[in-house]
Amino acid sequence: MMIAMPEHRYVTIAGQRRAVARIIVYPDFPKSWTQWNQLLKHMKTEDPSAWMAGFESYRAAMHDIALLELAKPVEDVEPVKLYLRPDELGRVVEIFGKGATGDGLTGAAPDAPHRTRLRHAYNRIVAAKNQWLYYKFDCGNAALPLEGMTASGDSGGPVLIDDHGTWELAGIAQGLDGTRSDLLAMRAGTFRMGLCGQKVSSTRVSFYARWIEDTIKSQ
């Protein structure tokens, strides 16, 4: 399924703009996007437990992934390989992003810029369920060296696993795996992204291996 093209129809790879011919989203993404917008309308008014039940139902059915078809082949950059083995649980991942920054005690400031310089950090997968990978922002003795998590502006960034010396794409940064406490903090205006203990979800590439392969072949 193809959606309307964005205003800027290109991606930047190795400093060069590469024209995008089309975007192919996972088939049921438009339906789940509509469901998400309906949830947002009632986020501040619905009973918290009822809203969280709707949120969890939405998450279980959501597939946040798309493929880009470029207008011309990229022949000057070697692509990152896909990590397709479903053994991500417990593995250390490297994450990249240019989004908002902060620390585990105060989180990212509400007015923090969502486009900064490229950074990277490490974390460990604590759950691999169906279409999602999860990792938690640990602090103190439980944290890895250079422990980190994604924040606003990092969505769509790579989550990489080291496969015998080669970093391969295992996930795509998606967002916070929100809790009831997060919901109440958002309602109170005190929520901060990037605090110790928060859990983040990423789209699980291995779950979509067949869809990716079949879509590329069909095009």
Give 103-141 pLDDT, tens digit per residue.
888 898 888 888 899 999 999 999 999 999 999 999 999
Predicted confidence at residue 89, as pLDDT, reads 98
150: domain range? 80-207
Predicted confidence at residue 188, as pLDDT, reads 94
Predicted confidence at residue 127, as pLDDT, reads 97
Nearest CA among 90, 36, 99, 91 for reference residue 63: 36
**pTM score of the predicted model:** 0.91
Return the number of other C-beta atoms located less than 10 Å from residue 3's C-beta.
13
> Does any domain span residue 149?
yes
> Does any domain span residue 9?
no
Predicted confidence at residue 10, as pLDDT, reads 92
> Does any domain span residue 110?
yes
Predicted confidence at residue 115, as pLDDT, reads 87
Tokens of 46: 């619905």
Name the stretches of the chain with pLDDT < 70. Answer: 1-8
Return the number of other C-beta atoms located less than 10 Å from residue 82's C-beta.
14
Nearest CA among 138, 135, 140 for reference residue 159: 135
Number of structural domains the chain divides into? 1
